[in-house]
Amino acid sequence: MAEQFDVVIIGAGPAGYVAAIRAAQLGLKTACVDAFVGKDGKASPGGTCLNVGCIPSKALLDSSKHFHHLSAQYKDHGIQASDVRMDISTMLGRKDKIVKNLTGGITQLFKANKVSSYAGLGRLLAGNKVEVTQHTGGDPLLLEARHVILASGSTPISIPNVAFDGHYIIDNQGALDLPEVPKRLCVIGAGVIGLELGSVWKRLGAQVLVLEAMDTFLGACDQDIARAAQKEFKKQGLDIRLGCKVQRAEVKDGQVHVSYLDKDGEKVEIFDRLLVAVGRRAMTDGLLGDNTGVVINARGQIEVDAHCATAVPGVWAIGDCVRGAMLAHKGSEEGVAVVELIAGKAGHVNYSTIPWVIYTEPEIAWVGLNEAECKAAEIPYKIGTFPFAAIGRAQAAGDTSGLVKVIAHAETDRLLGVHMVGLNVSELIAEAVVAMEFHASAEDLARIVHAHPTMSEAVHEAALALDKRAIHRMN
């Protein structure tokens, strides 16, 4: 007989585990099924993000940043260091410890909130039943719930004639565990994953070539910001080539031969490792049994309405396996919204104010519409920009790269978008998100007192610049 729950969630990534905790807080009897297994062979909740994505990549970015600063930049501060070396195994060990701490924290949160946790592969059956194939073996378990939430996440996309082998040709997970710094690393894809992991190994000494099929760098980003970022990456020695379409990759004698087409024809280059980072797709393979009624679209995503409900009453889907940005915080908020709707509350996600961040150095962050989107939608707009080079805190920190760009409606002054590239903009973007969530105008940002000296003053000055009122630069 199936065990009964109010809510059963398949997937314990940022969408699923947050939904489970919030459901339990609301008094719903909740179960969460997750298939992820850690390096130690044990259940490891947290999904791609905590295990092999957001968190471990940030740990390596931080380690490589310290190494690069000590070996190349600290002399400007009067700090002398010689024979600076990176112990890769220690760096990876630190990364793994952080992952273990956080995934273990989810396990403890499940216990504290009385969420029933199942380690195994979950599959939705007809009638709001979930079959669990346990890691420990034995007969599958059967769970039944008034509501089932599908939060199965995503998986890396492969490309034709480039087959992952887990050693020479790798995805993001493989790039997090390279045992040594490759002399030459090729990255296919100049997106978030490619730029972040390419930056890690470049700082540690690898020669990194990034091949991007598109002719535009960071096409989803405001192009003023993208150009400023590309300029900084070029200074750092990150070789980014646009309009390059990879044809095939072959491993020969312990090296990867990569063939690609650019405007001059076909070229072949040889590397020690090849990272394929061309995006991710919804992980829905094997998720559904027969006759569930849940619809999978042509892109492999679960079809949902504006409130994340599928066509089947009581079945919902959230996170990377549905439409929209594949961002951990987007999935988390969808999880909260869905269980609040289930509990009879007013769950809601404002998709127009979801922030985006790329954790390179300099960081890139934005929220809302960019200039090209305003033009395409024929929205009258005005812009204000301000460079970090004119900010005292940036000068003191020794990092003056980048700028802030504020876009507002030309007639109403309502904020339409805020875009940044520079030091710690992953944190600065929160001010813009809050302002836009409360329907602020550019004048509101311009009138708010910002502490001096801080990096946030660039946001203030960019808002002032919309009306040619910036103080610390010529208008």
Residue 118: strand pairing partners: 33
Q: Cα separation of 405 and 417, whole Å?
A: 8
Q: Give me the helix-helix angle, 425-437 and 457-465, nearest 10°.
A: 50
**103 close to 4: Cβ distance less than 8 angstroms:** no
Q: Cα separation of 186 and 355, whole Å?
A: 29
Please choose, from the candidates 12, 34, 57, the residue with its C-alpha nearest in 3D space to the C-alpha of residue 172: 57
Please choose, from the candidates 37, 288, 25, 305, the residue with its C-alpha nearest in 3D space to the C-alpha of residue 148: 288
Q: Cα separation of 391 and 404, whole Å?
A: 11
Let me know how many helices (H) and strands (E) the chain has, helices first.
13, 21
β-pairing, 315-317 vs 239-242, is unpaired
**19 close to 9: Cβ distance less than 8 angstroms:** yes
* Helix, strand, or coil (residue 183): coil
The pair of three-digit structure tokens given for residue 68, joined into one six-digit string: 């690069």
User: What residues act catalytically?
Assistant: 452
**428 close to 460: Cβ distance less than 8 angstroms:** no
Q: Cα separation of 281 and 78, whole Å?
A: 48
For residue 315, CA distances in Å to 1, 9, 141, 307, 471 come to 21, 10, 19, 11, 54
